[in-house]
Structure 1
Amino acid sequence: MSKKKIVSIEERIPKLKQARKKKVNRRLVFYLSIFFFLISIIVYLQSPLSHIKTINVIGNSYSADEEIIKQSKLTTKSNIWTINPSDIENEISKNEIVESVEVNRKLPWTVEIELKEFERVGYVERDHIFYPILGNGTTLGGAGQEHYNGDAPLLAEFSDEAYLLRMTSELQKLPENILNLISEIYWKPVDENKNKILLYMNDGFMVDGTIRNFAEKMEVYPSIASQLEPDSKGIIHIGVGAYFESFASPSDEEAEEENDEASSEDMETESESEE
């Protein structure tokens, strides 16, 4: 039998003490690291290092960056960790131009405010000044211009704000390609239909319609217009059903009458010849 090496307790004690000391040192380093880490966080949160340095506003066309930042109540002294994005979003949403808003932190020092504004759907004229009007009926009083440039429909004769609001709401729903076809919209209420409107289109046609469900009914316009001759003149009705009503010019009527008279004379000549 091989002899086993026997280690005395005196020889093992120093090794046990050394191992225990290393274990204690590792634990001490771990706790000290956590301690200094927490101290660093507290110092960071209480110091200017955690303050917002940049506020980016995205998606705004009608509202100035400064106006949105002022509404957000954010400053370069605001702590990026203590801000409440929901509260900021609710505050900015009070802006009648803003349809939706989202606030996000972009570490380490940036806050991003992303807006979606109501779209401009037309213009209204007041005292010979043309003002953009949005899909929620808001008129941009600070963006008036002396000349109508035709890049959106002109809404005319809407003396009742309630019907103007309904009209802009319908225009907001229109696809952009159809909205761009409209030149002017006139409110033409009658006793039996207060929603009656008359449209002048950029392709030369007129449209007789109604504000109620206008966006839905107007979807048929491109298909109807594409089936008509380019030189056709008339009104496309999109109220109850959809159809085209042509109106002939005086010269066309005279030519038609002359053709009818000529046909009558030919028939009389033929009758005399037979006799």
Structure 2
Amino acid sequence: MPKANVPVLKKDKPRMKTSRKVIAILILLFIVLMGVLFFRSQISKISEIRFTGNAYSTDAELLKQMGIQVGSPFFGTSESTIRERLAGIPSIEKITVDKQFPGLISITIKEYRAVAYSLNKDGSFAAYLANGTEVPVKNGGIAAGKPLLTKWKKNDPNLIKLCSVLGQIPDNLTADISEIIPSPTASYPDRIKMYTSSHFEVITAISLLTEKIEDLNLVIDTQEPGTLTMLEADSYSSFGPVEDNKEPQKETTNQ
């Protein structure tokens, strides 16, 4: 009888899918473990926060506004969040944040420039910024060539308007203005009176100051001290020569 062919039994192949799942789980566990170790280590913390450009806010005030400090998680706060928080400080115009791993956060502050000053009752000075914000002057840091604002009420809307206008004018055109006081009328609610270091008295309006400022400097450079009105129509009158007060000479008689 012919022999029957016995089929060859196939060997079981290893279960590749099961092995891959085990490897994937091990890798995932390793990544999680390394992540836990990383975020618990000092390398993931803020080691330094560096501020530059801030004159009207201290580092401590900025840190409080940011809500972070050295030792906080480096990746816990984004650059955009830091900018949004610091934007709540009125004296700040622009913020640049640079996070450098590991640990350094560098923040560059651009503040609104000072356009005028005021004298407080206690003898200290305050600076008015271009956006109308009033900030205390620290360590006597008063810039030369800025006018003194006197007799202004804190809630006067024209005060903010004046600061905004002064912020648009180059410093060299306002350098001779020493004092600005409010002088409103029915026709000109924003009328002001200015005194210059060159002894001129100038009457104008905040809304006209930008267009009149160059003419003002031209008159100051070419005319004798006097009163200058610069509204819709301009006029100028000199104070005239100042005579020294002299005592009359006594007559003498020869005896």
TM-score (structure 2 length as normaliser): 0.71
Relative to total residues, which structure has the larger helix share, 1 or 2? 1
CA-CA distance at 1:197 after TM superposition:
0.8
Alignment deviations for residues 136-182 of structure 1 (CA, whole Å, 9 cap, x no partner):
2222257597xx99652111222352111111111111211123221
Counterpart Cα distance in 1 of 2:42 and 2:104: 13
CA contact (8 A) 1:132 1:143 kept: no
Q: Give the equivalent residue in structure 2 for 1:190.
A: 185
Match of 2:132 in 1: 137
| Structure 1 letter corresponding to 2:67 | K
Structure 2 Cα separation of the partners of residues 233 and 77 of structure 1: 62
Q: Is the 8 A contact 1:150 1:183 kept in 2?
A: no
The answer as to 2:108 corresponding to 1:110 is no
Aligned to 1:88: 82
Query: How far apart, CA to CA, are the structure 1 residues paired with 2:208 and 2:35?
Result: 58
Shift of 1:132: 2.1
Cα 1:177–1:142 shift into 2, 3 Å:
closer
How far apart in 1 are the matches of 2:118 and 2:139? 9
Q: How many residues align?
A: 215
RMSD: 3.1
Match of 1:169 in 2: 164
Give the 3 Å change call, closer, same or farther, for CA 234–142 of structure 1 in structure 2: closer
**Letter of the 1:180 counterpart:** A
Q: Which residue of 1 aligns with 2:230?
A: 238
1:98 corresponds to 2:89: no
Gapped regions of structure 1 (runs ≥ 5): 1-34, 253-275
Deviation at 1:82, TM superposition (A): 3.2
The 2-side partners of 1:149 and 1:36 are apart by: 60
Identity %: 25
Counterpart-to-counterpart distance in 2, 1:131 and 1:173: 20
Deviation at 1:53, TM superposition (A): 0.6
Q: Gaps (5+ residues) in structure 2?
A: 1-28, 244-255
After superposition, give the CA deviation of every residue in 1:171-194 in whole Å (9 maximum; x if it has no partner).
111211123221001111112211
Greater C-alpha Rg: 1
Q: Is the 8 A contact 1:132 1:144 kept in 2?
A: no
Go from structure 1 to structure 2 and tell me whether the alpha carbon gap of 1:251 and 1:200 turns closer, same or farther (over 3 Å shift).
closer
How far 1:85 sits from its partner (Å)? Answer: 1.2
Greater than 6 Å deviation, 4+ residue runs: 35-39
